[in-house]
Amino acid sequence: MNRHFDLIARFYDRVIKTPDLERLTAFLELDPDLCLLDAGGGTGRVTGQLRPLCRSVVVSDLSLPMLREAQRKTELWPLAAHVECLPFADGTFKRIVVVDALHHFCNRTGALADLARVLAPGGLMVIEEPDISRFPVKLLALAENLALMGSRFLRGERIMRILESHGLTTRIEKAGHVMWIMARRVEVE
């Protein structure tokens, strides 16, 4: 497991830029009856701000120090778990968000498969990741590898193919150095 996040947990929220919450909120289509899974959510820096828009938020991460920070936020449910083998039944969540975390997962393909598994019929997953096709993100990837963080970035099209192989429909939007992949599980009639 990557210990970098254990070391920076206490000041992570103060130094890491918050994503475009307005755009993310629009993509997620949140409502007060939904339970949201924040996979790789660390301190809950993103979903702590989205929490008032949904019924409950589970923040899943491997770093216990990051989860302790999440626990300090109002009404977040921290969970130490590998995203590749989440302890939830199939179709548990109507909404899943992964913000700037997929490239840190040990097994990205396995993580996407398990996230697809726990996504409910009619559910929506939004993945926000740096766009590795952009040169500045390639430099970031190099820096993270030099720091032995084990980061492995996937191109948006690859992420979409993996999710589609698990029965989800996908679309992608890009702006600047960021991409958002929206994946929906078709409602079963």
pLDDT tens per residue across span 12-57: 445 566 778 899 999 999 999 999 999 999 888 889 889 999 999 9
Helix, strand, coil percentages for the chain (3-state, nearest 5): 40, 25, 35
pLDDT band at 124 (very low <50, low <70, confident <90, very high): very high
Comparing 117 with 1, which gets the higher pLDDT? Answer: 117
Residue 111 confidence (pLDDT) above 90: yes
Residue 6 confidence (pLDDT) above 50: no
Average pLDDT of span 53-68: 92
Give pLDDT tens digits for 84-98.
Answer: 999 999 999 999 999
pLDDT band at 9 (very low <50, low <70, confident <90, very high): very low
pLDDT at 2: 54
Give pLDDT tens digits for 132-167.
Answer: 888 877 887 787 776 666 778 899 999 999 999 999
Return the structure tokens found at 60: 């899943």
> H helices of the chain, where?
4-8, 12-15, 21-28, 47-50, 64-71, 108-118, 135-146, 156-164
CATH architecture assigned to 4-185? 3-Layer(aba) Sandwich (3.40)
Cβ proximity of 102 and 129 under 8 Å: yes
